Amino acid sequence: MKHPLRSFLRRLGPGFITGAADDDPSGIATYTQIGAQFGLAQLWTALFGIPFMIGIQEMVGRIGMVAGEGIGAILHKHYGRWVLWTFVILILIANTINIGTDLGAMADATRLLIPGVPFAALAIGYTLLILILEIFLTYQVYARILKWFALSLFSYVLTAIVVTTNWHTVFAAAVWPQIGFNHNFLLGLVAVAGTTISPYLFIWQANEEVEEEIVQGRKTLRARRGATAREIRNMRIDTSAGMAFSNIIMFFIMVTAAMTFFAHGITNIQTSADAARALRPLAGPYASILFAIGIVGTGLLAVPVLSASASYVLSEAFRWSEGLYRRFKEAHGFYGVITVATLIGLLINFTGLNPIKALFWTAVINGIVAAPLILVILFIGNNKKIMGKWRNSTLSNVFGIANFILLTSAAIATFLT
């Protein structure tokens, strides 16, 4: 008889990795800024966002499984090249900037753990490590490694436990929404929405569901089309666990920031590494070390997801051979895009570009891309020719439309503010 926990863990795959990758160093910086500026006032967004994230990621996961190909390939076939190339260009820009800020945060956080090591050496070292793992390991091995990197996010749970004493206040704030109708508060809500629901997550999960099917032996598109009820159920469990995990970590990061920085009047936390550094005098060295370890671990998870999602959509646009299951010699273009995007991201750290401004414009681009892409995903999810009996349910459409309205509002608010 299989142990229930072991059976559950085996079901975790693309959905869980996708959820964990959402808490990248850039996301950690955003959640820390929100907690530092507003205390527990926006903590409710962590729980509020779970069903919205599950709704959209379940949809893209189902599309990948049933269609047997990624979002980029579907756009190419059914929705015209101008739609495809608009998304390709914007996703490439946003993901490359995000890669750069994440690599910089990882190097900066490591200097807290190992003082004296040059920033450049660490940034280059992490870049090479990620590229070697992503390009030369098989998909099965690499997927297992990404799951282990995701566990580094538990360091934020431990950090919050170290710095928090009044959990009654915390949980009250989590379930009782507070809304401040002022510029900064609304901008904070926009930042949270733009950080938690990002286009690269859609691209990544749909393609990883395809990768899983290929690993199982379904190497042709015809063999991959369709899905069994059991496969859909397992995907939904995996996705729900991943999105819940993502937002629970977001919850604990906000709590840590509120209980340390906000409580001491420190509101100018600009990067995740700044947060780890500032924790030391407030909460002791252990809290600072745990926070820094989380930055490095989630960066090792998120950077490959960012580069691969950019490569998936560009490779599908050009009809190149693509997929992490392929060897380098079988997919030069696919791995070439991964390499170039990661290296350009690395170089951003040496251009003098302000990382906060870079993150802001990344959020703006993600906001521009996410809302219309969700609309296209809704059309795909309801397309009988593509989805057959696995077309969207009423509940899926409700959450999809709600996500579209939420992201559209966030994008408009970003420009207005």
Q: What is the pLDDT of residues 343-355, one digit of tens each?
A: 999 999 898 876 6
Q: Which helix (H) or strand (E) holds 177?
A: none
**Which residues fall within 8 angstroms of residue 35, CB to CB, at 6 or more apart?**
42, 43, 253, 254, 255, 256, 257, 258, 261, 262
Distance between CA atoms of 160 and 286, rounded to whole angstroms?
11
Provide, for the chain, the percentages of residues in helix, strand and coil under a 3-state DSSP scheme, each rounded to the nearest 5.
Answer: 80, 0, 20
Q: Can you tell me which residue has the tokens 């756009």?
A: 75
Domain membership flag for residue 196: yes
Domain membership flag for residue 3: no
- The average pLDDT across 44-60 equals 93
Q: Residue 56's pLDDT is what?
A: 93
What six digits make up the tokens of 297?
Answer: 């671990």
Domain membership flag for residue 351: yes
Q: Residue 1's pLDDT is what?
A: 47
Report the domain count for the chain.
Answer: 1
Tell me the pLDDT tens digit for each residue of 356-383. 667 666 766 776 778 888 898 999 999 9
The percent of residues in the chain predicted with pLDDT above 70, rounded, is: 93
The mean-pLDDT minimum among 44-53, 111-120, 168-177, 364-373 falls in: 364-373
Distance between CA atoms of 50 and 359, rounded to whole angstroms?
23
CATH of the domain at 240: 1.20.1740.10
What six digits make up the tokens of 207?
Answer: 């393609």
Note the pTM of the prediction, 2 decimals: 0.88
Distance between CA atoms of 41 and 349, rounded to whole angstroms?
33
What six digits make up the tokens of 405?
Answer: 């309205």
C-alpha Rg value of the chain to the nearest Å: 20
| CB-based burial, 200-220: b 16+ in 10 Å, e otherwise | bbbbbbbbbbbbbbbbeebee
Structural domain for 77, as ranges? 17-416
- The average pLDDT across 148-159 equals 82
CA atoms within 13 A on the CB side of 64: 30
- The average pLDDT across 122-141 equals 88
Domain membership flag for residue 6: no
Domain membership flag for residue 8: no
Domain membership flag for residue 4: no
Domain membership flag for residue 221: yes
132 CA to centre of own chain: 21
Domain membership flag for residue 9: no
